[in-house]
Structure 1
Amino acid sequence: MKKSTTLILMFLFLGESIFLQNQAFGEIYNRVVAIVNTDVVTLYELDTRIKELTGMSPEALKRKSEEQYVETRRKILQMLIEEKIAIEKIQELKIKVEPKEVDEAIERVKQDNNLTQE
């Protein structure tokens, strides 16, 4: 796992340098930033998730703090990789959850914790 994380980080930083080089010429490419078994994580997915979770575009986050940008990007990429692995495992095990089951579980949690819909 440590070896694959190091490899992923190398791809991330290599990809970042290519991305910055392309930006200098006004071009943006959607490219693969990580390969997860038979799936990939794209730059678009990574940037979209950064914006969803931070409320800032990757560019704005980078302008604010280079260190925070690199750390946030690394954590979110790791999260996306773990999601892809979980999805593949769920599909492999043929696990299916019906919406009704989710609603019932939510209701149980609300009752157990004396919560209301608000």
Structure 2
Amino acid sequence: MNTNKPMRRLALAGAVLTQTLLLSLAAPAAAGAATPAATTTAAVASVEEGSAAAGSRVTVKAGWELARIRAYARGDSEIVGEIKPGESWPCSTAGCGTVRGGHITACDSAGDQWYAIHYYGYVRYVSATCGTSI
């Protein structure tokens, strides 16, 4: 009798459940909204990254239509999404601080500081020239 089969099924079920939970919690939330999903997402990010503070999120700066989400912290990196007014995404760094990356000019500013966010299961980047932490 093979006793490994039930363990493999259990492990697979746990992996599927975890991935489903992470993807459902990674959807954008209204800026400043305190939802259970936002708290849970921050807690999951904290476990994954060991550094995210509960409720730390990134949104678009006031007065701008959007902040672009890029695959890497560089201005020439692929745009994988956008943050629009009223939306926010959970940070993947402690206190939602910025990280140094490639130079970008956007939203009437230039800089090399980026916010690392959790975006549908991946770490992606938003320029601090257009985004802000909330």
TM tier, smaller: under 0.3
Q: Which has the higher strand share?
A: 2
Structure with higher RCO (Cα < 8 A, 6+ apart): 2
Greater C-alpha radius of gyration? 1
How high is the TM-score relative to the length of structure 2? 0.25
Q: Which has the higher helix share?
A: 1
